[in-house]
Structure 1
Amino acid sequence: MNLLLLEQQHFIDEWHAELGQRQLRHVLDVHQASEGDVLRVGLVNGNMGKGKITHLSSEIMRLEVELNTPPPPALPLTVLLALPRPKMLKRSLQHLTALGVKKIILMNSYRVEKSFWQSPWLSPGKVREQLILGLEQARDTIMPEVILEKRFKPFVEDRLPALVAGKLGLVAHPLGGESCPHQISGPAVLAIGPEGGFIDYEVDKLEQTGFQRIHLGPRILRVETAVTAIVSKLYD
């Protein structure tokens, strides 16, 4: 945890916050902090700054907070991610959030198992947990938007054209296409398929919407590895 994230309900007044549970355990067990220590803090969807510990026990921590630093800039990137299996989903959400992606669309694909859509890890609370972990890792405060699109064809035909208009559309695919571009400066929409990749029909539909195929070379990568590698290459 490189940043202690606060929410509005933690604040007693404008300058003082009170915390317990997960964050308190981390401060006690990992930071091994004491009263008087100063921690890096941030307000969800707000500024960052510092928090001085004014009270610390096994049950509660109180902070005197000063928030005067804006969060890092977001990437101008929307990621369409074919819904991965739960373990990969958790890691992918954390990685994308840490990298600065602020719009993540979890979409269906022929190779996405139907049972994945029933996973408890898709509940708003569980998704938020992973986003918080990504923000804490990267010292960021702006919560990404996560959208679920359970039907491939209606999404690609009806909603995706407006989403990709004026942006660079890229679909990661191990067969064909160009090498992944490097250090682009404008907005983009990146589609990453499931294990085994998008089927030909899905790639064709994305190309009809204005996407172009890209690849990272001959190696086949896990979803969470491909996510990190492509985003890092696109935006230095």
Structure 2
Amino acid sequence: MNLILLEPHDVAQPGQAILRDQRRLTHLRDVHRARPGDRLSVGCTDGCIGKAELTALEPDHARLSWTSLSEPPPPALPVHLVLALPRPRMLARTLEHVTALGVKRITLLHTKRVEKSYWQSPELRPDKIHQHLVLGLEQSRDTLMPKVTLVKGFRAFLDDHLPTLLTEGRGLVAHPGMADPCPRGISDDTVLFIGPEGGFIDWEVEQLLDAGCQGMHLGPRILRVETAVTALLSRLF
């Protein structure tokens, strides 16, 4: 936890916050080894960052106070990530990784090779998704909460979502066997499509390319989804 991310229910009054959850209290005691009087990095959700003084650390709560939080969060990546829903354990790690890297728009998509049972996972509950996003923000000293959208049908995605998405930026489809290598160091607004384990099926790739997306590859190696996502974002941006 490189940043204590304050949510609205934490803020008791302007300039003061009370933490009551055991995760953060345990981190303050056992990792930061914090003591009253220490100054810690804090930020308000969707707001600015600064230093706050720890004024109390009790078994059931901690108190923080500050005069101003004025440092802006790090810039977001200019990307909307459209990710075929990974297996639940991989989803948790991937959400944390991409949030830490600065992705602010995420669509989780059903494709042919996504197991239908994945959509029943507790990891897709709003509170669990929120938890993973918070962990990513705390790691990277960020405060801007990503928006996650769930789309359970590929055909519905093609009809209802894809045309609007492609007005946000150029579409790039990461898929083995594409002719072009992944671009490097771009700054354009981009919609990045990444398939499931086993990749998109041919029909899905054809639909995305016919809609105006560009296919690309990362080379001859086949990577796990969480590895591919990190490698693509790092290389692209």
TM-score by length of 1: 0.97
The offset of 1:43, in angstroms, is 0.5
Unaligned runs of 5+ in 1: none
Distance in 1 (alpha carbons) for counterparts of 2:143 and 2:212? 32
What do the CA deviations read for 1:138-181 (whole angstroms, capped 9, x no partner)? Answer: 10000000000000012113321121126121011011221000
Please give the alpha-carbon distance, in whole angstroms, between the structure 2 residues aligned to 1:44 and 1:58: 25
Helix, strand or coil: the match of 2:2? coil
How do residues 63-74 of structure 1 correspond to structure 2 at under 5 angstroms? Answer: 63-65=64-66, 66-74=68-76
- Provide the residue aligned with 2:30 in structure 1: 29
Question: Which of 169, 172, 190 is the equivalent residue of 2:171?
Answer: 169
Whether the 8 Å contact between 2:168 and 2:191 is mirrored in structure 1 is no
Deviation at 1:131, TM superposition (A): 0.2
Task: State the alpha-carbon separation in 1 of the partners of residues 153 and 114 from structure 2.
Answer: 11
Matched residues, number:
235
- Percent identity reads 55
| Correspondence list, 1:57-206, <5 A | 57-65=58-66, 66-165=68-167, 167-206=169-208
Residue 55 of structure 2: aligned partner: 54
Q: Which residue of 1 aligns with 2:215?
A: 213
SS where residue 69 of structure 1 aligns? coil
Amino acid at match of 1:44: T
Match of 1:7 in 2: 7
Unaligned runs of 5+ in 2: none
TM-score (normalised: structure 2): 0.97
Structure 2: which amino acid aligns with 1:117?
W
CA distance in 2: counterparts of 1:224 and 1:91, whole angstroms? 7
C-alpha RMSD of matched pairs (Å)? 0.9
The runs of 4+ residues in structure 1 deviating greater than 2 Å are none
Deviates more, 1:51-60 or 1:99-108: 51-60
